[in-house]
Amino acid sequence: MLAGYGYILEKLMKEIDKYTILENLHTAVVLLDEHLHILYLNAYAEMLIGISAKQIINISMKNIVANSPGFIENVQKAVAEEEQSCTIREQSITFVSGKSVLIDYTVSRGNDGNIIVEITQIDHQRRISKEEQFFAQSHAMHNLAKGLAHEVRNPLGGLRGAAQLLEKELVEDDLKEYTKIIIEEADRLQNLVSRILGDSKYVVKKVHVNIHQVLEHVRQLMLIDNHKGINFYTDYDPSIPDVCIWQDQFIQAILNISRNAVEAAKAGGMVLFCTRIVRQAVIGVHRYKLAVKIDIQDDGEGIDEEIIDSIFLPMISSRPDGTGLGLSISQSIVFRHGGIIECESKPGCTVFSITIPLEDDLGERQ
């Protein structure tokens, strides 16, 4: 009798191990019966389709894949011909959730007669390659900034010293105001250089903050100098928990993007701040159970297609008077939070999306 229970337990543990492996794959796996009803889908498949497993178990795959008859036909063909496996490459499909993706997929039949569909998102692989390129560029820019900081530090000391000597020689208070500004700005730049070079005196800890407080702070700053009469709108998800960030740097990242949005928006146009929770978010090669997505949208003319893939590089700007540093700096800051900034643009609607993982650790940065 005990031997029988042992066999059942061993079989159960094997099943648990199998599904644990499936749940941690970066490939979508969907199990169908012979009538194409969904019996199981892993966590990555939930994320890809955009609907939870509880909602679509026992639902026909025909009702999940909308306006993509080729996908269903290929699955049915594989079933009818009882092929061991069939692989289709680079097919665009649209799910009933409205999400469209470019995929490779393999259809195979299991020993129990059920159908296994393995789906790889091709545009996601391309996105990973682009993100890896961004990370490399961010690292190179950080090294460049360190090199420039070394060159700037010594002249700053001389500039401050000369301003102090000049202040002692001046009699008029009005003129002393100018030297005071020079000294204050030299001190500010000196502090910035020290942070870039990693001076331990300027190490700042991460803090848990409400992301909407950060966005509202930036929005208030933008309203102070709202000479174009821009209308600012918000669409916040109140369920988002506090995020763990380097607050001053993250504010700077949001501010840079918001300023660009205001510059791009039409006079009297709009800028929208939107927040959402993202489940099973994939950033680079890492997957996170929960992430925060911040969208900053404007109604401007859009970004030229020729430069949209390189707008996060230094010295690349869509404006004739732009320096091309704001977005590059913002991307570097967000990378240091384990996140990424992405952009989609068309005439009348440009959206910069910041995605960062929700985490509880309190780290340090220099």
Residue-wise DSSP of 19-58: HHHHHT-SSEEEEE-TT-BEEEE-HHHHHHHTS-HHHHTT
- Report pLDDT for 243: 95
- What does the alpha-carbon distance between residue 230 and residue 272 come to, in Å, rounded to a whole number? 10
Contact indicator for 214, 254 with CB cutoff of 8 Å: yes
Please state the domain extents for the chain: 2-121, 126-202, 204-365
Per-residue pLDDT of the chain (366 residues; tens, 9 = 90+): 444 444 544 554 455 555 677 777 778 889 998 888 999 988 888 888 888 888 889 999 888 887 777 788 878 877 776 656 778 888 888 888 777 788 888 888 877 778 888 988 876 656 656 666 666 666 666 666 666 666 777 788 888 888 888 888 887 888 888 888 888 878 877 776 665 555 545 556 789 999 999 999 999 989 988 889 999 999 999 999 999 998 888 988 898 899 999 999 989 999 999 999 988 787 876 778 899 999 999 999 998 887 777 777 765 656 655 556 678 778 888 988 889 898 999 999 999 999 999 865 444 433
- pLDDT computed for residue 347 by the predictor: 92
pLDDT at position 23: 76
Distance (Å, whole) CA 347 – CA 259: 18
Question: Beta-strand (E) ranges in 110-157?
Answer: 115-121
Residue 175 structure tokens: 């003129």
* Ramachandran area for residue 67 (φ above 0: left; ψ -120 to 50: alpha; else beta): left
**CATH code of the region 2-121:** 3.30.450.20
Segments of the chain assigned E as strands: 28-32, 38-41, 65-66, 85-95, 100-109, 115-121, 204-205, 207-209, 231-235, 243-245, 270-283, 286-298, 340-346, 349-357, 364-365
How far apart, in whole angstroms, are the C-alpha atoms of residue 118 and residue 275?
32
d(CA 28, CA 7): 31
CA 175 to chain centre: 48
One-character DSSP codes across 170-195: ---HHHHHHHHHHHHHHHHHHHHHHH
Q: Which residues of 60-91 are buried (b: 16+ CB within 10 A; e: fewer)?
A: ebeebbeebeebbebbeebbeeeeeebeeeeb
Residue in the block written with tokens 């600012």: 232
Give the CATH fold of the 204-365 domain.
Answer: Heat Shock Protein 90 (3.30.565)
What is the residue whose two structure tokens read 């000597």?
A: 165
Q: What is the pLDDT of residue 136?
A: 66
Question: Helix-strand-coil percent breakdown of the chain, rounded to 5?
Answer: 45, 25, 25
Distance linking the first and last C-alpha atoms of the chain: 64
